[in-house]
């Protein structure tokens, strides 16, 4: 089963992955990371198709996608 995870430490809250996801299953967390950013999170892992568009879009390599 596909699984997308964001490492909060590296996320700068730019939102590019949210725009890139064709399934629209990424949002900003209500929590903030150590740098003060609302980091991205996948809220519906079951709908992830492991297309990796979020992974290739993230400028800070904060995203991991597993199949
Ligand atoms: S791998 Fe694709 S479907 Fe899954 S969260 Fe990333 S962009 Fe969305
Ligand atoms: S593209 Fe990367 S840095 Fe930007 S919000 Fe998504 S995970 Fe965070």
Q: How many CB atoms lie within 10 A of CB 28?
A: 15
What is the position in ligand 2's atom list of the atom closest to the CA of 57?
1
| 16 touches 58 (CB < 8 A) | yes
- 36 class by beta-carbon count within 10 Å (0-12 exposed, 13-18 middle, 19+ buried): exposed
Q: What pLDDT score does 1 carry?
A: 86
State how far the Cα of 56 lies from the Cα of 54, in Å rounded to an integer: 6
8-64: pLDDT as tens digits: 999 999 999 999 999 999 999 999 999 999 999 999 999 999 999 999 999 999 999
Cβ–ligand 2 distance for 21 under 6 Å, the answer no
What is the position in ligand 1's atom list of the atom closest to the CA of 24?
8
Cβ–ligand 1 distance for 61 under 6 Å, the answer no
Q: What pLDDT score does 6 carry?
A: 98
Residue range of the domain that includes 62: 3-66
Model's pTM, two decimal places? 0.96
Cβ–ligand 2 distance for 58 under 6 Å, the answer yes
What is the domain count for the chain?
1
**CATH number, domain at 46?**
3.30.70.20
């Amino acid at each position: 089963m596909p699984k997308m995870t964001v490492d909060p430490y590296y996320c700068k809250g730019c939102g590019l992955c949210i725009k890139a996801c064709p399934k629209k299953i990424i949002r900003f967390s209500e929590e903030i990371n150590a740098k003060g950013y609302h980091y991205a999170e996948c809220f519906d892992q079951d709908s992830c198709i492991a297309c990796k568009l979020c992974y290739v879009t993230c400028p800070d390599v904060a995203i991991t996608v597993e199949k």
